[in-house]
């Protein structure tokens, strides 16, 4: 009997971003693993077991799900956003690489989801309309110096930058430091977007400038997009401005 493991992206927020493929994968799983609030978003299915774990216990969750699948079960792991972007898919691969040979025989499937930067960008207009990059500011997995080096490289070469995991309780100073670093390369007026809890009722999207950005509160549910020197605003009466990065580069970047 051959087991399988599907790593299923739910998208951010409620169920509006759920894809057909994700719905089918949730339905097909005999056992679902994941962070409790994500599990709660999967519709109940008779006979399906649920295994909730804490948000930070990725490795333990991956190991438990792989062990379960290796017994021949069809197992799912739910992931907010896209499982491939700073989420469970890499964690599962890491455990397979370090685990028993039998885990390599499993049918492993990643079901993509709408990742937070796409949802936040959609709310604001088209800030990711030109070249962009995604950086996790969580420095428990890499040195802060490397994060600074990447911020320099990205802003210096004209990429729009999406910042995941912008702050944590242990390191509340990180995001302000990142803005200060980006400001070495970018004008004060560069548009910055804060998207929090996008797709949920308490959703909020704030558009500000790089000079003002450190005044805006952010937490681990926030995704921040910092424009490039090309990113611009369209003011609209009675509506939030549209933020977009044109497809064509006009300015010459030295």
Site for its own copies in 184-203 (CB under 8 A): none
| Window 92 to 151, contacts with its own copies (CB under 8 A) | 92-94, 96-97, 104-105, 108, 110-115, 118-119, 121-123, 125-136, 141-143, 146, 149-150
| Residue 227 binds its own copies (CB under 8 A) | no
What is the length of the chain? 254
- Say whether residue 152 binds its own copies (CB under 8 A): yes
Contact 45, 27 (CB under 8 A): yes
245 binds its own copies (CB under 8 A): yes
Residue 35 in the binding site for its own copies (CB under 8 A): no
Out of 64, 66, 89, 207, the only residue in the binding site for its own copies (CB under 8 A) is 89
Q: Is residue 132 exposed (0-12), middle (13-18) or buried (19+ Cβ within 10 Å)? A: buried
Q: Does residue number 70 form part of the binding site for its own copies (CB under 8 A)? A: no
Residues 6+ apart with CB under 8 A from 238: none
Is 28 an interacting residue with respect to its own copies (CB under 8 A)?
A: no
State in angstroms the smallest separation of the CB of 215 from its own copies. 26
Burial class of 170 by CB neighbour count within 10 A (0 to 12, 13 to 18, 19+) = exposed
- Choice from 4, 53, 63, 91 touching its own copies (CB under 8 A): 91
41's CB contacts (< 8 A; 6+ apart) are: 10, 14, 15, 78
Q: Quick check: 16 binds its own copies (CB under 8 A)?
A: yes
E-strand ranges in 74-143 read 74-79, 107-111, 125-126, 132-136
Taking the complex as a whole, how short is the minimal distance between the CB of residue 126 and its own copies, in angstroms?
4
């Amino acid at each position: 009997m051959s087991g399988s493991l599907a790593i299923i992206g739910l998208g951010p927020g409620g169920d509006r971003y759920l894809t057909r493929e994700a719905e089918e994968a949730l339905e097909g799983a005999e056992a679902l693993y994941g962070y409790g609030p994500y599990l709660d978003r999967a519709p109940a299915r008779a006979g399906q077991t649920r295994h909730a774990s804490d948000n930070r216990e990725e490795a333990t969750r991956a190991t438990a799900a792989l062990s379960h699948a290796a017994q021949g079960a069809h197992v799912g792991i739910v992931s907010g956003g896209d499982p491939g972007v700073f989420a469970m898919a890499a964690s599962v691969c890491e455990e397979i690489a370090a685990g028993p040979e039998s885990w390599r025989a499993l049918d492993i499937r990643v079901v993509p989801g709408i990742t937070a930067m796409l949802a936040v960008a959609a709310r604001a207009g088209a800030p990711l309309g030109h070249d962009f990059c995604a950086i996790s500011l969580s420095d428990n997995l890499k040195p802060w110096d490397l994060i600074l080096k990447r911020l320099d490289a990205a802003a210096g070469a004209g990429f729009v930058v999406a910042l995941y995991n912008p702050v944590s309780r242990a390191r509340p100073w990180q995001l302000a430091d990142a803005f200060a670093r980006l400001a070495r390369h970018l004008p004060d007026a560069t548009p910055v977007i804060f998207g929090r809890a996008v797709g949920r009722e308490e959703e909020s999207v704030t558009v500000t400038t790089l000079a003002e950005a450190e005044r805006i509160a952010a937490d681990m549910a926030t995704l921040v997009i910092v424009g490039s020197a090309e990113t611009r605003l369209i003011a609209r009466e009675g509506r939030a401005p549209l933020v977009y990065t044109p497809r064509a580069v006009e300015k010459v970047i030295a």
